[in-house]
A and B are shown apart, each in its own frame.
Chain A
Amino acid sequence: MSKRNYLTKLPRSLHSANFVLHNNYKAYMEAQKSKNPICWVDVNFPSFLLWAMDVTTIFPQMHSAFQAQRKSVKKMMHELESKHEIPHTICGEVKGLIGCAIYHDNSAFHIPDPDFLVTANTSCNIVSKGFRYTAQYFQKDLLFADFPFSYGEVTKEMIDYSTAQVFDVIHDVERRTGRKLTYEKAFEWTENIMILFRIWEDICKINTSKPAPVDALDLYLFSSIMVTVPSHEKVVQLFINLYNELKAQEKANLKVDANEKFRILWHFLPIYSEKKYFQKMFDQNHISVASASFFPNPADWFEAWEYEFTYPLTMDQVDGARKKLRDSGDLGGNLEELVRIVVEGLLKMDVNTSINQKEQTLRTLIESFDIDGVVMHADRSCRTQTLPMHELKNRLSADLNMPVLLFDSDSMDERFFAPSQITTRFEAFVEMLNMKKSQ
């Protein structure tokens, strides 16, 4: 079994990421102390618009995901079900969110209580219900944005409606905080997020190299930082450093597995608490996780701005990209246009799209990253995304003549992880990969 080179675990960037997260949690406590408005927000709402109003945003779903990585949610889940009578059939993500409110055992950083909460029903109403329950617990207001599901094209009517929904939330926040969302501030924060996405694209693209320089699942932490930590300069610098660290590895020919035999795509969420288990199985079989469905869709790889980043990436280059974005006018000329553009992007997000669009995204990733097989995680904690997986599996394996493994587990709740069952399925999948390769 090959042992992973320590450097392919991105030690420098990981250290920086932990530092950024630590400071983020510190900022929560400072906000509580200074009585800055604190909002618990759903990951599906464009929170950078709240950052533009200097509202402190906390993402309880992400907080519980970090706890799950530390394997410290088991007790919480058990107590929620037994003491607080939360049904065990509710998904782990929602239990994690409720647990952030009602369960405390000092195993994770404390997060302050909210002054108000914001949720959106992108693809799943259960999370919104979880936010409603949590809001009732705190006796605080819940602001709700209703986004229509996209079965195909995103129409003007959908954008009109969703824009109005976002503005309803924004105006409510303005009223309760006394702070106005200006176009300039909204532009600045939206621009920051766009820059991060641009760098993120190039980071993920590095893994088209063979063998892969990085395990795609090791990049998941950074994708969640992008969405949940206000994208100030330190976060942009983190992504610049990540890009440079990966590029340096690529140039030094450092690979996850120099004897890479198979490249797989991981579909949907990782299992937060079982990273080591999967790494061991991948290493034993010389498998690189070259891509994942949380990677940007290669079909959308940025042609906007036509700005090429080069190694080593510097803040000057990023500022150049920023200037080009501003000059392009792609973020609209006023607040309404900007929000419409943001909303259109939201409606096109994978979680809000139909099986046909998901299939296209996966096909594009499979082709771009030269994938040999797909592993699909049917996540108990996200049934709406799991629902189309059987059909997706059948389409991909039939059309592409490719082994596709579908197994069920839970990204959040470690009690639903069954190693011996998963091992049997995984080993059969590897045997299928080997057979396919020998033909």
Chain B
Amino acid sequence: MGKNLSCGIDIGSTTTEIVVLDKDKKLIFADRTLTAGNVKKASELVFEKCLKEHNLKEDDFDQIIATGYGRKYVHFSTHNVTEISCYARGANYVDPDIKTVIDIGGQDSKVISITEKGDVNDFVMNDKCAAGTGRFLEMIAKTFGFQLSDLGTLALQSDTIIPISSICAVFAESEVISLTSQGHEKKDIINSIHHSIGERVHGMASRLTVEEKIMFCGGVAANVGMIRTLKQLFEIDELIIPENVEIIGAIGAAMYGFN
């Protein structure tokens, strides 16, 4: 017999997160691992760890909801829900006043407009072009030989925006090398790349009605440079970045288990 527990598993392209909520919707377990191209293994790994740590069995869960790009391949899930709906629900769990979610991940970016109940009002997605995603930052970090985690701090050292004319991340890489040769400082170029990504996301968001409060999540939410850029572009003072930003999707999935 179930123990009124709901489990959410978010299988992303890079990482897999798991969250367990009890009957009072209190977070009792959270964990994370690298997906490493193996959805089955990653989901089983985090789930088995959860079972072991809390002395649980699969039957103890009323619902196991999978989300993320690998959601259909979690063989022990009871349902799967898109990450769009799960991010909406997860944001609502963190703060019911959140009306807009901006998610910039490694491979895609999305903007979701949500209701007070955490339902999706509307959404836009970019999952076809690296230019508006964290992938662009990865490429630039590699080009300059920096750690990805240092890019945000470097961007904050600059207030200069050099127009990046290429609309494609691949061609922008060549343009960046050219800008470096022209003598532009790396911090200025890095800030400009942040601005370029931010502009794409802002452009996407303009197709919706964007209302505050706005939550920023996804892998790029750890980037302080991008936080500043988004605040500038959206002309806001406050951008909510929750403590548990990596598990928002999994929280949302677990919340769906109570539906």
A interface list, Cβ under 8 A from B: 390, 394, 397-398, 404, 418, 420-421, 424-425, 427-428, 431-432, 435
B153, CB-defined interface residue at 8 Å: no
Q: List 12 A-B contacts (CB under 8 A).
A: A390-B207, A394-B207, A418-B128, A424-B83, A424-B84, A425-B125, A431-B81, A431-B82, A432-B85, A432-B120, A435-B119, A435-B120
B136, CB-defined interface residue at 8 Å: no
Which of B83, B122, B127 is close to A397, meaning CB atoms less than 8 Å apart?
B122
The interface residues of chain A lying within 8 Å CB-to-CB of B127 are: 421, 424
Judging by beta carbons under 8 Å apart, are B82 and A421 in contact?
Answer: no
Closest 9 CB pairs of A and B: A428-B84, A428-B82, A431-B85, A435-B119, A427-B82, A421-B127, A432-B120, A390-B207, A424-B82
The interface residues of chain B lying within 8 Å CB-to-CB of A425 are: 125
The interface residues of chain B lying within 8 Å CB-to-CB of A394 are: 207, 209
Q: Find the B residue at minimum CB distance from A418.
A: B128
Q: Mark B93-128, 1 if CB is under 8 A from A, else 0.
A: 000000000000000000000000001101101011
Judging by beta carbons under 8 Å apart, are B122 and A424 in contact?
Answer: no
The interface residues of chain A lying within 8 Å CB-to-CB of B120 are: 428, 431-432, 435
Q: Find the A residue at minimum CB distance from B124.
A: A406
Number of interface residues of B (CB under 8 A): 15
Q: Find the A residue at minimum CB distance from B122.
A: A397
From known contacts A397-B122, A435-B119, infer whether A428 and B85 are also in contact, taking CB-CB under 8 Å.
yes
Which of B119, B125, B207, B209 is close to A424, meaning CB atoms less than 8 Å apart?
B125
Would you give the shortest CB distance from A422 to chain B, in whole angstroms? 10
In whole angstroms, what is the CA distance A427 to B79 when docked? Answer: 13
The interface residues of chain B lying within 8 Å CB-to-CB of A404 are: 122
In whole angstroms, what is the CA distance A222 to B84 when docked? Answer: 37
In whole angstroms, what is the CA distance A398 to B120 when docked? Answer: 13
In whole angstroms, what is the CA distance A329 to B69 when docked? Answer: 62
The interface residues of chain B lying within 8 Å CB-to-CB of A421 are: 125, 127-128
In whole angstroms, what is the CA distance A424 to B108 when docked? Answer: 12
The interface residues of chain B lying within 8 Å CB-to-CB of A418 are: 128
Would you give the shortest CB distance from A401 to chain B, in whole angstroms? 9
Would you give the shortest CB distance from B243 to chain A, in whole angstroms? 26
Q: Find the B residue at minimum CB distance from A436.
A: B119
Would you give the shortest CB distance from A418 to chain B, in whole angstroms? 7
The interface residues of chain A lying within 8 Å CB-to-CB of B207 are: 390, 394
Q: Find the A residue at minimum CB distance from B208.
A: A394
Q: Find the A residue at minimum CB distance from B119.
A: A435
The interface residues of chain A lying within 8 Å CB-to-CB of B122 are: 397, 404
In whole angstroms, what is the CA distance A421 to B84 when docked? Answer: 12
**Most chain A CB neighbours (cut-off 10 Å) among B82, B84, B85, B128:** B82
In whole angstroms, what is the CA distance A420 to B128 when docked? Answer: 11
From known contacts A424-B82, A424-B84, infer whether A432 and B125 are also in contact, taking CB-CB under 8 Å.
no
Q: Find the A residue at minimum CB distance from B85.
A: A431
Would you give the shortest CB distance from B2 to chain A, in whole angstroms? 22
Q: Find the A residue at minimum CB distance from B127.
A: A421
**Most chain B CB neighbours (cut-off 10 Å) among A397, A421, A424, A425:** A424
The interface residues of chain B lying within 8 Å CB-to-CB of A420 are: 69
Additional pairs, 16, CB under 8 Å, beyond known A421-B127, A424-B84, A431-B81: A394-B207, A394-B209, A397-B122, A404-B122, A418-B128, A420-B69, A421-B128, A424-B82, A424-B125, A428-B84, A428-B85, A431-B82, A432-B85, A432-B119, A432-B120, A435-B120
In whole angstroms, what is the CA distance A168 to B123 when docked? Answer: 49
Would you give the shortest CB distance from A204 to chain B, in whole angstroms? 29
